Amino acid sequence: MARELGWYASFSVAFGFVSIATGIFTTYGAVLATSGPRGIWAWPISVIGQLSIALVFGALAARIPISGYSYQWVSRIVGPIWGWIMGWISFAFLGVVVVAVDYTIASTILPELFQYVGTTQNAWVITAGVVLLQSLLVAASTRTTHRVNNAAVTAQLIGMITLTALLFAVGFFTGKLDFTHLFETGTVPESGYYGLGGGTQAGPFALAFLLGAFTIVGFESAANLAEETKDPARVIPKAMIQAVLSLGALGFLFLVAITAAAARVDGVAESATPVATVITAVLGSVVGKILLVLVVVSIFSCGLVITLSGTRLVYAMSRDKRFPGWRLLGRIHPHTATPLNATLFVMVIAQLILAVFSGSTDALFQLFSAATLLPAIIYAGTVAMYAAKRRSLPPSRGFSLGRWEVPVLVLAAVWLVYELLIFRDASFQGPWIYVLVLCGIGGLYLAVLIARRGRASLTMPDMADVDRALDNAATAPSGGSAEGTSR
C-alpha cells in the first residue's frame, strides 16, 4: 500500500479523536460542581502529564511504526498474551468512550440549541440514533468516513478558534468578563481544597484533573496510520506532540473565556448545559446557535473516528484469531470492502453500554469517568512496558527522547499514578464496576483461548495493516474474509 499521508493527515486524526469541544462540553459541569471555577487550573498540569505520555508513544512509534499501536507494540515487545490484554482493555475503552462522546451531544448541546428540557429518556434515544448513524457511515465506506472527519476537523479548528476569540472580544466590550472568577471555588469549601483527600475520597482540586485527563486522550490514534504515512517515524511523533500542545493551548484559552464569562451569567452553576448556556448568553442566540452547530459537527466527527478505531481493533484482533467470534468478525463485506460484521458488533456493544448507563441521573459523569479510567490503565501499561524494555527496543528511525528519556518516563509515571489514585473516590464505583466486568469477561475468554489452543499457538502477529487488508479484500475476486498470519 502506498504511503500517501503526510503530517496534516496524522495531525487531523490525533486532533479529531481528542476533540477539545467534546471533552470540555462533557466535563465542565462536573468540574464546576466538584472543584469550582478554580478547577480549570488543573488543565495545564494535565496537558503536561499527557504530553509526557505522547512523548513516550512517539518514541515507540519511531521504533516500531506499525498500525495497531499499543496492541501491536506490547505483543511484540512483551509477548502476545500481554498484547491481547492491552487490546481487550482498548476495546473496553473505545466501547464506552464513543457513548460518552455521543451522549454529550444529546445531554449538553441539543437542549440548549433547540430549547427543550433534556431528560435521561430523550438523551438515550438521541444518543442511540447518533451511534447508529456513525456505524452506518463506517460500515458503508472508509473513504467517506475519512472525508467527513477531515472536514469536521477543519470545522472544529475554525469553530473553536472563532468561538474563543468571540467570547473574549464580545465579553470584553460588553463587560461580561470577570477574571477574578477564575480563582474562586464557588460552592466548594476553601478549606482542604488542595488536600489529597482520604482513603475513599479525592480532594476537590484533584477531581478537576479529570477535565484534562478525559479530553487529552486518543492522540496515539495517529500511530494507527503508520503503514500508510510518509516517513512515519518522524511524522507521527511530531503530529501527536503538536496535537497535544495545540489542543492544550486552545483548550485552556477557551476555558478561561468561558469561566470568566460565567461569573456574569445567571444560573450557570445550576445549568445542565453550562458551556452552551454561557455561549448563548454572551454571543446572543443566533451567533451562539451557529457556533453550537459547529461544535455538534466536531463531536459527531470525534465519535465517528472512535467508531472507526473500535471497528478496526475488533477486526484486527479477529484477523489474528484472538477475539470472540473471530470467524464472523474477521470477514470483509464483498461490496463495501469494510469489516461490516465488526462494525455492527461495535454498534451493538455501544448500545448495550448506553442502556446500562443511561438510566442514571448522572450518566454523563459515569460515562466520562469510565472513559478516563481506561486510557489511564492503557497508558500506564504501555509506559511501564517501555521503561522495562527500553534498552532492548529497536533503534529509533526518526524520533528519540535522548537524554530526556528518563525524566520523561519519571514524569509520565508520576502523572499516571496520581491520575489513577483519583479513582479511589467513591463516586467512581460505577466506572470501576464496568472495568471489572469487561476485564472479567475478557479474562474468561483468554483462559478458554489458552486452554483450547495453548500458549505456544499465540505467537507474535505478523506486521499487518488493517487498511492494506481491506484494500486487498476489495480487489479480491471473491471471498469475504481476511485472516492474519502469525510467525
Q: How far apart are CA 303 and CA 344, in angstroms?
A: 15
Higher pLDDT, 92 or 469: 92
Check residue 229 and report its DSSP letter: B
Looking at residue 49, its amino acid is G
Place 461 in a pLDDT band, splitting at 50, 70 and 90. Answer: low
Q: CA angle, 413 as apex, 90 and 87 as ends, to 5°?
A: 15
Residue 41, all three cell numbers = 487550573
221: closest CA among 109, 141, 301? Answer: 301
Is 487 within the bounds of a domain?
no
Is 79 within the bounds of a domain?
yes
pLDDT in tens, 401-432: 989 999 999 999 999 999 999 999 998 988 89
Mean pLDDT (the chain, rounded) = 84
Instruction: Give the domain range for residue 227.
Output: 7-468
pLDDT in tens, 2-48: 455 667 777 877 877 787 877 888 889 889 999 999 999 999 999 99
CB-CB neighbours of 416 under 10 Å: 23
pLDDT at 2: 47
Is 476 within the bounds of a domain?
no
Q: What percent of the chain has pLDDT over 70?
A: 90
Average pLDDT value for residue range 117-121: 84
Is 87 within the bounds of a domain?
yes
Place 399 in a pLDDT band, splitting at 50, 70 and 90. Answer: confident
CB 347 within 8 A of CB 373: no
Is 482 within the bounds of a domain?
no
* Selection from 56-65, 412-421, 471-480 with the highest mean pLDDT: 412-421
Question: How many domains does the structure of the chain reveal?
Answer: 1
439: closest CA among 374, 384, 360? Answer: 374
CATH code of the domain in which 116 resides: 1.20.1740.10
Q: How far apart are CA 347 and CA 24, in angstroms?
A: 25
- Is the pLDDT at 483 greater than 50? The verdict is no
Is 274 within the bounds of a domain?
yes
Q: Which of 167-176, 302-311, 439-448 has the lowest mean pLDDT?
A: 302-311
Which ranges of 19-141 does DSSP label H, i.e. alpha helix?
20-35, 42-63, 69-77, 80-104, 110-114, 120-140
- Kindly tell me the burial class for residue 139, based on how many C-beta atoms sit within 10 Å of its own C-beta (0-12, 13-18, 19 or more): buried
Largest Cα separation within the chain, whole Å, is 70
pLDDT in tens, 215-256: 898 888 887 767 667 888 888 899 899 989 999 999 999 999
- Is the pLDDT at 393 greater than 60? The verdict is yes
Residue 46, all three cell numbers = 494535565
Is 156 within the bounds of a domain?
yes
Is 481 within the bounds of a domain?
no
